[in-house]
C-alpha cells in the first residue's frame, strides 16, 4: 500500500499561545523593506539632512543669547538678527525635508502593504482545505485587514520617528559633550534608569498586544459566523444567547485592548518624569558652574536646549516601542498566514492526462483527519466511465470525505486512487480538478451579472451556450423575468434571489463545463419536489458519458444509479443497484424505509 499523507489537517490551536519569536516578525518585515532599499536610502539621507538643520537650532539660539552683554544691558542686534535669521532658515529647511520624508515613507509603506496583502491573499488561495476547516474565516479576514493596517501605521510613522530620534539623540549627545562634559555625566545616571524602565514595560506590553490581536481576530470570527447564520438565529429565537456570546468575546477583546493601551500609555509619562529629573539636575549643576565662572549663559542656553532634544526622543521612542509591539504582534499573525504550509506540490514529473475517460478506482484507501481517528477504512470500489455512482449513508459516515479525496482536497493515509490507470498522486492537482464539474449543497455566487456567474468555469462561453445550460437547469424562464435578464447584477453571494434559484444557477454553471466527471453533493436539496424532478431529467443529459458521483440523503433521487455505495463508519457495508440492495433487506433497506416512517 502507498502512503500519500501530506500536510493533512491543520492542527493549529484555537487557544491563545505566545508566538515563538518576535525577531521572526522583524526579519520578515525587513525582507519586505529590503525590496525598496534605494527608496529607504533616500529616506535615510533626508532624515539626516532634516535633523542636521534642526540640531543647529540650539547652537544658533545660544549664539543669539550670547549677543547680549550681561551686566551692561547692551545687545548686539546685528549678531542677534543674523543668528535668528539663520535659525528660521534652518528650521524651515528642516520642516520641508521632514514633510518630503513623510510623503516618501507613506509611499514606501503603501507599496509594502500592497505587497503584503497580495502575498497573503495569494497564500490563502494556495492553502489546503484543511486550513479553512481549522481557522475561522473572520480571523483570516482580520489578518489581511486590521493586522496589515497596523503594520502600515508602524511603517509610515514609527520608522521615521525611530530614525529621527536616533540621529537627534546622537547629535545632541555629541553637541552636549563639546559644550560641557561634566554636565553630560548626569545622563550616566538617568539614561540607564530610562532604559531599564522602558525594557520592563516593553516586555509587559508585548504579550498584551499579541493577546489584543488574537482576541480581535476571535471577535471578528464570531461576528462573521453569526451574520452568516442570521436567518437561523432569528428563526430559533436565540438572539439573547448570541448577544451573550458576543458580549463575552467583546469583553475579552476590549479588556485586552484596554490593558495593552493602559500599560503602554504609562510608559511615556514614566520616561518623561525621568527626563524632567535630568533637566532639573542640569539646571542646578549648570547654575553652579555659571556662578563659579566656568560656564557662560550662551553655553547654558545651548546645553539646556540640546538636553531637551536629547530627552524628547527617548520619551518618544518609549511610546513608539509600545506601538511597535502591536505591529510585531500583528506581523506575527500575518506572516504565520503567509508562511503557512501550502498544498503539497505536485511531483516533479507529474503527468497531464490529455483525454480523460472517467474510470475511478479506490484501492484499500485509509484516511483520517486526526491521528488514530480513522474516517475511511480499507475502502475499495470501481467506477466505470459514464457510470452514475451514488454514495449514501448516515451523517458522519464519510460520504463527503470520499469526495474530498477524489478532488485531492485531502491526501490519503495509505492505499491508492486510480484515474484511467494513473494514480491521481502522479497527476497535476490542478489538472485533476479541472476534469470534475462540482455542484455542492452550499451554493456560491459572486457579485456580478448572471451571465458572469454561469460562465465562471468557462471563460470563453457564449451567450447561446449559457442559455442552453440555463434551459437544461430549468432556470432560463426565471432569468428572463429578471430586470436585465442575463445582465442582471447579483448582489453579494446572490442574496437578492432565493436559495433554490441559487442552486439552479450553480447547476447550470456545472453544465457548461467540459468535464468527464461530475460530483453532486446534495445538489437538489434546496429546490422543491416539482423542480427537482425537472432537474433530474436535465441531469440525465448532463451526466451522459460522464462518471458521476452523487451524495444524496433522499434515496428516491438515486434509484437509477448504476452503483450505490452504502457507507457506514468509513466502510462500504453494501454496494449494488437500488433494486439489488432492497432485495438484500440490509442497511440500505433500513435507510430507504426509514424515510417513509
- Cβ–Cβ < 8 Å for 353, 381: no
Same domain for 188 and 145: yes
CA distances to 174, 435, 515 from 356, in Å: 77, 8, 9
pLDDT by residue (tens digit) across 26-58?
A: 888 888 888 888 888 888 888 888 888 887 777
Same domain for 503 and 578: yes
Average pLDDT over residues 507-520: 83
Same domain for 545 and 487: yes
Domain that holds residue 555: 360-594
Within-domain flag for 210: yes
Same domain for 371 and 301: no
Same domain for 573 and 515: yes
Within-domain flag for 570: yes
- Cβ–Cβ < 8 Å for 504, 475: yes
pLDDT by residue (tens digit) across 162-205?
A: 777 778 788 878 887 888 787 777 777 777 787 787 777 777 77
Average pLDDT over residues 205-219: 79
pLDDT for res 531: 62
Domain boundary among 338, 370, 395: 338
pLDDT-derived band at 417, boundaries 50, 70, 90: very high
pLDDT for res 315: 62
- Cβ–Cβ < 8 Å for 540, 558: no
Within-domain flag for 317: yes
The total domain count for the chain is: 2
Within-domain flag for 85: no
Domain boundary among 306, 338, 370: 338
Average pLDDT over residues 369-384: 83
Q: Give the lowest-confidence range in 294-303, 438-447, 522-531.
A: 522-531
Average pLDDT over residues 482-495: 78
Neighbouring C-beta atoms of residue 312, cutoff 10 Å:
16
Average pLDDT over residues 339-363: 83
pLDDT-derived band at 353, boundaries 50, 70, 90: confident
Say which residue, 529 or 387, is predicted with more confidence. Answer: 387
Same domain for 550 and 437: yes
Q: Which domain CATH number covers 573?
A: 3.40.50.300
Q: Which domain CATH number covers 161?
A: 1.20.1560.10
Q: Which bin fits 410, alpha (ψ -120 to 50), beta or left (φ > 0)? A: beta
pLDDT at position 495 over 50: yes
Q: Tell me the residue length of the chain.
A: 597
Same domain for 411 and 331: no
- Collapsing DSSP to helix, strand or coil, 20 comes out as coil
pLDDT for res 577: 87
pLDDT-derived band at 6, boundaries 50, 70, 90: very low
Within-domain flag for 23: no
pLDDT by residue (tens digit) across 543-595?
A: 777 888 888 777 767 888 888 888 887 677 888 888 888 888 888 888 888 76
pLDDT for res 67: 64
Same domain for 369 and 251: no
pLDDT for res 317: 67
**DSSP assignments along 450-511, one per residue:** HHHHHTTT-TT--HHHHHHHHHHTT-HHHHHTSTTGGGPEE-GGGTTS-HHHHHHHHHHHHH
Average pLDDT over residues 319-339: 79
Same domain for 467 and 378: yes
Rounded percentage of the chain residues whose pLDDT exceeds 90: 1
Q: Give the lowest-confidence range in 233-242, 275-284, 337-346, 491-500.
A: 491-500
pTM over 0.85: no
CA dihedral (301, 302, 305, 308) in degrees, to 10, reads -110
pLDDT for res 15: 35
pLDDT at position 72 over 60: no
pLDDT at position 271 over 60: yes
pLDDT for res 74: 59
pLDDT by residue (tens digit) across 388-411?
A: 888 888 877 778 888 888 888 888
Within-domain flag for 62: no
pLDDT for res 194: 76
Tell me what the pLDDT averaged over the chain comes to: 78
Same domain for 481 and 389: yes
Same domain for 366 and 328: no
pLDDT by residue (tens digit) across 532-556?
A: 666 666 667 667 778 888 887 777 6
Query: For the chain, first and last CA: distance in Å?
Result: 43
Within-domain flag for 298: yes
- Collapsing DSSP to helix, strand or coil, 522 comes out as coil
Within-domain flag for 574: yes
Could you tell me which residues come within 8 angstroms of residue 193 by beta carbon, excluding any fewer than 6 positions away?
Answer: 274
Same domain for 485 and 397: yes
Among 478, 490, 485, CA closest to 446: 490
pLDDT for res 497: 75
Amino acid at each position: 500500500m502507498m502512503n500519500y499523507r501530506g500536510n493533512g489537517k491543520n492542527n493549529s490551536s484555537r487557544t491563545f499561545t505566545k508566538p515563538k519569536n518576535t525577531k521572526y516578525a522583524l526579519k520578515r518585515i525587513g525582507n519586505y523593506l529590503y525590496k525598496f532599499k534605494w527608496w529607504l536610502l533616500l529616506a535615510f539621507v533626508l532624515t539626516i539632512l532634516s535633523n542636521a538643520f534642526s540640531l543647529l537650532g540650539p547652537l544658533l539660539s545660544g549664539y543669539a543669547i550670547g549677543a547680549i552683554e550681561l551686566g551692561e544691558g547692551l545687545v548686539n542686534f546685528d549678531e542677534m538678527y543674523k543668528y535668528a535669521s539663520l535659525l528660521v532658515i534652518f528650521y524651515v529647511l528642516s520642516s520641508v525635508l521632514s514633510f518630503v520624508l513623510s510623503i516618501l515613507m507613506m509611499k514606501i509603506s503603501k507599496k509594502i502593504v500592497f505587497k503584503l496583502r497580495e502575498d497573503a491573499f495569494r497564500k490563502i488561495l494556495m492553502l489546503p482545505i484543511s486550513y479553512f476547516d481549522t481557522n475561522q474565516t473572520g480571523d483570516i479576514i482580520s489578518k489581511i485587514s486590521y493586522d496589515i493596517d497596523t503594520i502600515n501605521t508602524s511603517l509610515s510613522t514609527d520608522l521615521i520617528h525611530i530614525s529621527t530620534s536616533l540621529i537627534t539623540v546622537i547629535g545632541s549627545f555629541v553637541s552636549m559633550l563639546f559644550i560641557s562634559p561634566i554636565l553630560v555625566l548626569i545622563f550616566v545616571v538617568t539614561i540607564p534608569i530610562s532604559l531599564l524602565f522602558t525594557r520592563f514595560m516593553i516586555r509587559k506590553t508585548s504579550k498584551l498586544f499579541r493577546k489584543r490581536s488574537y482576541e480581535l481576530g476571535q471577535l471578528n470570527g464570531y461576528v462573521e459566523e453569526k451574520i452568516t447564520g442570521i436567518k437561523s438565529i432569528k428563526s430559533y429565537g436565540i438572539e439573547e444567547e448570541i448577544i451573550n456570546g458576543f458580549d463575552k468575546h467583546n469583553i475579552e477583546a476590549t479588556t485586552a485592548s484596554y490593558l495593552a493601551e493602559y500599560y503602554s500609555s504609562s510608559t511615556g509619562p514614566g520616561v518623561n518624569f525621568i527626563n524632567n529629573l535630568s533637566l532639573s539636575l542640569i539646571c542646578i549643576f549648570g547654575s553652579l558652574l555659571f556662578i563659579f565662572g566656568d560656564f557662560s549663559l550662551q553655553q547654558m542656553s545651548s546645553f539646556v536646549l540640546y538636553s531637551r532634544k536629547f530627552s524628547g526622543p527617548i520619551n518618544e521612542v518609549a511610546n513608539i516601542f509600545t506601538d511597535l509591539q502591536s505591529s510585531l504582534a500583528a506581523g506575527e499573525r500575518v506572516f504565520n498566514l503567509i508562511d503557512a504550509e501550502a498544498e503539497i506540490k505536485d511531483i516533479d514529473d507529474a503527468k497531464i492526462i490529455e483525454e480523460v475517460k472517467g474510470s475511478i478506482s479506490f484501492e484499500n484507501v485509509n484516511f483520517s483527519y486526526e491521528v488514530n481517528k480513522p474516517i475511511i477504512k480499507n475502502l475499495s470500489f470501481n467506477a466505470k466511465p459514464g457510470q452514475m455512482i451514488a454514495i449514501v449513508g448516515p451523517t458522519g459516515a464519510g460520504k463527503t470525505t470520499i469526495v474530498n479525496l477524489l478532488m485531492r482536497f485531502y491526501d490519503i493515509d495509505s492505499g491508492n486512487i486510480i484515474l484511467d490507470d494513473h494514480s491521481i498522486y502522479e497527476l497535476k492537482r490542478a489538472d485533476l480538478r479541472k476534469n470534475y464539474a462540482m455542484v455542492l449543497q452550499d451554493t456560491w455566487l459572486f457579485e456580478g451579472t448572471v451571465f458572469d456567474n454561469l460562465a465562471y468555469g468557462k471563460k470563453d462561453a457564449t451567450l447561446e451556450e449559457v442559455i442552453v445550460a440555463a434551459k437544461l437547469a430549468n432556470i432560463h424562464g426565471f432569468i428572463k423575468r429578471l430586470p436585465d435578464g442575463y445582465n442582471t447584477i447579483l448582489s453579494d453571494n446572490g442574496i437578492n434571489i432565493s436559495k433554490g434559484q441559487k442552486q439552479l444557477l450553480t447547476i447550470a454553471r456545472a453544465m457548461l463545463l467540459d468535464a468527464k466527471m461530475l460530483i453532486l453533493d446534495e445538489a437538489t436539496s434546496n429546490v422543491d419536489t416539482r423542480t427537482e424532478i425537472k432537474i433530474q431529467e436535465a441531469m440525465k443529459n448532463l451526466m451522459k458519458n460522464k462518471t458521476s458521483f452523487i451524495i444524496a440523503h433522499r434515496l428516491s433521487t438515486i434509484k437509477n444509479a448504476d452503483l450505490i455505495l452504502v457507507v457506514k463508519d468509513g466502510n462500504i457495508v453494501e454496494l449494488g443497484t437500488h433494486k439489488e440492495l432492497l432485495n438484500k433487506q440490509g442497511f440500505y433497506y433500513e435507510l430507504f424505509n426509514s424515510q417513509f416512517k
